[in-house]
Amino acid sequence: MPALNSYDYAIVRVVPCVERGEYINAGVILFCRTRRFLDALVYLDIPRLTTLYPAVDLDMVQRHLDIIPLVCAGSAEAGAIGQLSQSERFHWLVSPRSTIIQTSPAHSGLSTDPAATLEHLLKTMVLLP
């Protein structure tokens, strides 16, 4: 039986009007230290977002969401943040912010396959059935 590994994850939220505090889930970030795994999957449901807030700048939101997987990968395109350790990048990504892109509090779990768990979390927490 494959070994269980602990992981932490956070849901990526788009908060189009910070003052109202309304949001839609738009992705998941998962970090498994023992497997040296840090990745994110994002999906922007444009009809849901524009129903919530029709005046949202979709291009700006998508640009910000697109950076998250780059930071996870440690890509040079992520700038100085991308050069930090995996743990530091995860903590930077999930730190509280008052901006249009926010994350939920971090949650923990156990998994034998972090990539499969990440996909499962995207399907259950972000995508509509």
Q: What is the pLDDT of residue 128?
A: 87
Q: What is the pLDDT of residue 1?
A: 75
For 82, phi then psi, to 5°, come to: -65, -15
pLDDT tens-digit profile, the chain (129 residues): 789 999 999 999 999 998 998 999 999 999 999 999 999 999 999 999 999 999 999 999 999 999 999 999 999 999 999 999 999 999 999 999 889 999 999 999 999 999 999 999 999 999 988
What does the DSSP assignment read for 20-56?
A: TT--EEEEEEEEEGGGTEEEEEE---HHHHHHH-TT-
Chain centroid offset of residue 40 CA: 5
